[in-house]
Amino acid sequence: MTTAFGTGVTGPDGHQLDQIQLSGVSARGYHGVLPSERQTGQEFRADVVLYMDARPAAAGDDLARTVSYADVAADVHDILKGDPADLIETVAERIAAAVLARPQIEAVDVRVHKPHAPIPVPFADVEVAIRRDRTRVPVVAAPAALHGLEPAADAVPAELEPQDFEPVARPVAEEPEPFRPEPYEPYQPVEQSAPVAQPAVEEPEPLPVPELIAPEPLGVIPAAWELQAEAPAQPEQRENLAKEPVFQQGEQFQPEEQFQRGEPFQPQEQFEPEEQFQPQEQFQQGEAFQPQEQFQPQEQFTPQEQFTPETAFEPVQQYESLQGLDQRPGIDQRNSFDQQLQQFEPQQYDQAQYDQPQQGFEQQPFEQQRRDAQPNQYDQMFEQQYDQGDMETTRVSAAVPDPAVGQPEPAFAQEQFAQEQYPQEQQYQAEPRDRFDEVPAGYVEVVVAIGANLGDPQATMRSAVAELDRVPGVQITDVSPLARTAAVGGPEDQPDYLNAVLLARTTLSARALLQACLEVENLHGRTREERWGARTLDVDLITYGTLTDSAEDIEIPHPRAHERAFVLEPWSQIAPEAVLPGLGGGPVGQLAATAPDRTGIRWLALDWLTDPEPEQGSGGPTVSNQPAVADDGQDGRSAEMPPALPPSLPPSGRPKASPGGPVVEVPGGGQPQAHHSGPVDLDGPPQQDPYAGGTHPQAYSSGPVQGPGGSVPIPHQAQAAPVAPPAGVPGTGSPVPPPEEALVPAPPAPIAPRAVRDTAHEEPAHEPLPPGSPAPAKPVFAPVNPSRQQSGVFPPMNGAPQEPSSPVFAPVGPPPNGASDADRNGQSNGHSGGHSNGQLNGLRDAYDNDHTVIRVPGYATEQSLPPSDGPIDSVPSWVPVRDERGRDA
C-alpha cells in the first residue's frame, strides 16, 4: 500500500483526522554512507504532517490538549542534525517516533529531503516519505531528549538506541497487508480461450518449480520482517541484504511465501538458475565484465592521433611557433599564445570519451564506490596531511613574499613553466598516467575558485587572476563578483574570506592546470598548517569540462564545491545556467541557494578587478605566510595584517582612500564599471603599450579588462625590482616590467553610482587605520549579475550620473535583537559606527561609504525584506547567520 504524503487519515470515529503541517525544517546533518557525507555534512530538510483530533484543544483553547508545533520542529531539527545515520529512511523513522511519542498524535507523515545527495547526475531533490501510526509504529526509537510530552505508551521507548532496535512485533493478522499482488497466473496459452489448438511447439513448457540453491558462501540473511527476533542488522548485513539474494542454502524456492511477505513480484520464468543466474561464476571468472578486453585504449583515445594537422590544435607545433614568437621583441608572448589559441575550434571536453574505461585506470561503478565507502583518496590525503601535528607545509616552492602586501613580485616563470608543461619531446609521447594527464585536443572550459583571508586578500586575488591568465594554455574568460564570506570550517576566529570564481579555458591537462593553480598559490606565500586554515591565497580547480574522477593528488570536480556557497554563488552570478557535474552536483544557482554556508555570504562586489590599485601605506605592506595569530586578543589576526577582514564583520577598518567619500575612480574613460559579464579580455594588447617598441620582453602585463567603459587594466602589483623566481617555481629570470608601466594609465573619472551617493556621505563614521597601515583597495560595488537586476540601476554614465530607475534591493535592516555586529562577533572592530540613517544599523563604516553593496538574491534578508523604492543601500548585505561560521548555531 502506498500512502501519499499528507493525504487523509481516518480516525477511530471514522472521520478524517485533522492535520498540523510543518514543512521545511532544515539542518546540516551528517547522515549518509559516504565518508565525505559523514565528515562534511550537508543540508537535510523535513516535512511533517501530524494527524490528530484538534477539537479538544480548540474547544478549550488549550495547548496542553494539542502538541506544540514548535516542540515538534525542535525535535525534527535535533534529529536532522543529530546522530548520523546511513539512511534517510532511518532519519524519517526517528522523526516519526519522536512525533508519535506524543499521545495526541494518531498518525504522522514524515518526508526527509536530501537535496545534495551524492548523485552523479543533475537532480533536484531526493526524499523519503513515510507514514506511521498507532498500528504501524516506527521501527526505531525516538531520540532520548524530546521537547514534547511524555512518550505514548505504545511508542518505541525513547531510551532505546537505534542499535537496540527490534521491529515492533505485531500479529500478522492485525497488520494490513502491505502488498497484495495479484495471484500469479501462469501464462495460459491461447488454446484455453480459443477452440483451435495451437501447434505443440508454441505451447509453453510447464514451468518447473525451480530449486534455487544459494550460491556459496551466502549465509542465512534474514529478511527485514524477520529481524524482530534477531540482532539488528549490522552494516555489512544490510549491505549483503541489498546485494545478494535472500535464500538459505539449500532452501527451495517458494514463490508463494514471497508473495505473502509482500516481496516484489518475481515471476517464475525469471529463474533459470542453471543457465541464467550464476552470479558467482560470472564474477569469479570475470566473464561479464572484462574491461581489458572490451576497451582498447589505442582505439578509444590516442592523443597522438588526435593532434593531426587537420585537427584544430597542434600543441607541439604551436609551442614551437610560440618559441619563435617569444624571441621577437615587442611581442606579448602570452597574448600571442592565447591569440592563436582563440583561432582554434573549441573542442569541448567530452566526458563520454573518458567514460570508456581505459587501460591503466579502471572504471569503478558508482555503486561500487559507494559500497566501498572508503574515504576517497583526496580525503585520505587530507587526513594524512593534517593529522600530523608536526605537519610540514606542502608548498612545493620556497616561500615567496606575497606581492599583494607589497613585496616584489617574482617574475612569473612563463618560459620555464611552458617547458615543464610542454617538454617538446615528451609531452605527447608519454603514456598518460590517468585521465588527468590527458591533454585535450582543443580547449576545455574550466572553473576555478579563488579565495583569500590573509594579507591583502583583494590585491592578492587580483594578482592571481592575472597570473592564472598568464599561464600558457590558460585563458580567463570571465571573472565573478567578489564575495565576502564567513570562513567555513577550520579554526574559529578566522578573518572573513574574499572569494571569487573564474571561468577559463585551457589546453592544459587537468593535472597540469591544477599544478599551475598551486604554483600561483605558492607565489603568494601559501602555507598549509592546518586544514581549512587561513590562507593568503587558495586556488581550487572546481571543474574541468565535464570530467568527474579522482586520483591521489586531484579530484574533479572539487569534492566540496557542491556545498559551498562561497564558490557557487559567485559562479552562478556569471554563469546562472551552469551545472556542476559529479557527486552532489546540479544547477549552481540551486545549489547556491541551498548551500549550508549561504548565509555566510556578506556581499558581492563587482569592480574588484578594475578599481585603482590599492595605495601602499607608509608603513609598508606586511607579509604573512603564517596563519592568523591572535596577538591582539581580538580576532585572531595579527596586528600586522590590517587588510585581512575580521570575521563576520562588514568590511571595516578601511578608511576611504578618497576624502571625497564615495567617489569611485573608474579608469577607462569615465564609465562606471558594472560587472563585466562578458569575457574578460586579459590578453589583448594594452591600448597604449609602453613596450610596443620592444623595450620590454615581457610586456604582457596583466592586460586590460574589457568593460563597458573600455579597456580597464587589471593592475599588477607594483614592485621595485625584478626578482628571480623562487626555487621550484619555474622562471626565466627575465625581469618583470614594473606592472604599472605596462598598464594603460586611464584617466580617472570620479563616478559614483547614484545609490552610493545617496547614502555614502551620511555620517562616515569610522576610525582611521593605525599609522602605517596600507591604504585599502577600493572596489566598486554594483549590482550582482545584471541579469537578475531590474534595469537601470547602474547604467553606463556619460557625464552626470544617472538616477537608478528602480530599486534593486531593499535596504538591509538592523540585525535581530538589535545586536551589533561587534556584539555578534564578541569583539569590537575598532570603529564607532553609528548612523542616523534610519535604515542603517550603525555598522556602516568607510568601506560601506565607498561602495555600493548589494545583497545576494535569494538569501535570508532579501527574502524577508520587501522591495524598496529607494536606492540601493550601501550597507553590506551581511546577514545574521546561524552562527558566525555559516553553520547551524
Ligand X SMILES: Nc1nc2c(c(=O)[nH]1)N=C(CO)CN2
Residues that bind ligand X (CB under 6 A): 451, 485-490, 497, 499, 532, 538, 566
> 558 contacts which partner out of ligand X, ligand ATP, none, CB within 5 to 8 A by kind?
ligand ATP
Q: Contact at 8 Å (CB) between 624 and 640?
A: yes
Phi/psi of residue 745, nearest 5 degrees: -70, 105
* Smallest distance from ligand X to CB 728, Å: 22
Nearest alpha carbon to residue 82 among 120, 122, 25: 25
Nearest alpha carbon to residue 682 among 660, 700, 662, 708: 700
Q: Contact at 8 Å (CB) between 772 and 620?
A: yes
454 binds ligand ATP (CB under 6 A): no
Backbone angle region of 6, left / alpha / beta, with phi > 0 → left and psi within -120 to 50 → alpha: left
541 binds ligand ATP (CB under 6 A): yes
CB atoms within 10 A of CB 60: 11
Q: Closer to ligand X at the Cβ: 90 or 648?
A: 648
540 binds ligand ATP (CB under 6 A): yes
Stretch that binds ligand ATP, among 335-343, 423-431, 533-541, 776-784 (CB under 6 A): 533-541
Angle, helices 315-327/333-343, rounded to nearest 10 degrees = 150
* Smallest distance from ligand ATP to CB 845, Å: 29
Active site residue 778: no
* Smallest distance from ligand ATP to CB 543, Å: 9
> 485 contacts which partner out of ligand ATP, ligand X, none, CB within 5 to 8 A by kind?
ligand X
563 binds ligand ATP (CB under 6 A): no
What does the block give as the cell for 694? 620592444
Q: Closer to ligand ATP at the Cβ: 521 or 758?
A: 521
> 541 contacts which partner out of ligand X, ligand ATP, none, CB within 5 to 8 A by kind?
ligand ATP
Q: Which of 81, 114, 656, 778 is catalytic?
A: 114
516 binds ligand ATP (CB under 6 A): no
In angstroms, the CA 845 to CA 645 distance is 13
566 binds ligand ATP (CB under 6 A): no
> 499 contacts which partner out of ligand ATP, ligand X, none, CB within 5 to 8 A by kind?
ligand X
**From 105, 156, 556, 705, residue interacting with ligand ATP (rule: CB under 6 A):** 556
Which residues are CB-contacts of 826 (< 8 A; sequence separation ≥ 6)? none
In angstroms, the CA 114 to CA 124 distance is 10
CB atoms within 10 A of CB 180: 11
What does the block give as the cell for 778? 577600493
Q: Closer to ligand X at the Cβ: 488 or 628?
A: 488
553 binds ligand ATP (CB under 6 A): yes
Which residue, judged by CB position, is nearest to ligand X in the bound state?
451
Site string for ligand ATP, 375-394 (x = CB under 6 A): ---x---------------x
Q: Contact at 8 Å (CB) between 799 and 623?
A: no
> 681 contacts which partner out of ligand X, ligand ATP, none, CB within 5 to 8 A by kind?
none
571 binds ligand ATP (CB under 6 A): no
> 553 contacts which partner out of ligand X, ligand ATP, none, CB within 5 to 8 A by kind?
ligand ATP
555 binds ligand ATP (CB under 6 A): yes
558 binds ligand ATP (CB under 6 A): yes
The residues that bridge with 109 in the sheet, in sequence order, are: 49, 131
In angstroms, the CA 373 to CA 100 distance is 33
Q: Closer to ligand X at the Cβ: 344 or 532?
A: 532
Q: Closer to ligand ATP at the Cβ: 26 or 499?
A: 499
8-state DSSP, 17? P
In angstroms, the CA 13 to CA 26 distance is 35
Which residues are CB-contacts of 256 (< 8 A; sequence separation ≥ 6)? none
8-state DSSP, 612? P
> 486 contacts which partner out of ligand ATP, ligand X, none, CB within 5 to 8 A by kind?
ligand X
What does the block give as the cell for 419? 617547458
Site string for ligand ATP, 391-430 (x = CB under 6 A): ---x------------------------------------
Q: Closer to ligand ATP at the Cβ: 43 or 540?
A: 540
Classify burial at 868, counting beta carbons within 10 Å of its beta carbon; exposed 0-12, middle 13-18, buried 19 or more. middle
Q: What separation in angstroms does the CA of 552 have from each of 229, 438, 539, 840? A: 45, 16, 18, 50
In angstroms, the CA 512 to CA 672 distance is 37
**From 528, 562, 696, 831, residue interacting with ligand ATP (rule: CB under 6 A):** 528
> 166 contacts which partner out of ligand ATP, ligand X, none, CB within 5 to 8 A by kind?
none
Side-chain-side CA neighbours of 739 within 13 Å: the count stands at 24
Distance spanning both ends of the chain, measured CA to CA: 40
743 binds ligand ATP (CB under 6 A): no
> 378 contacts which partner out of ligand X, ligand ATP, none, CB within 5 to 8 A by kind?
ligand ATP
Q: Is 603 helix (H, G, I), strand (E, B) or coil?
A: strand
Residues that bind ligand ATP (CB under 6 A): 378, 394, 514, 518, 528, 532, 538, 540-541, 553-556, 558, 560
Task: Give the residue numbers marked as catalytic.
Answer: 114
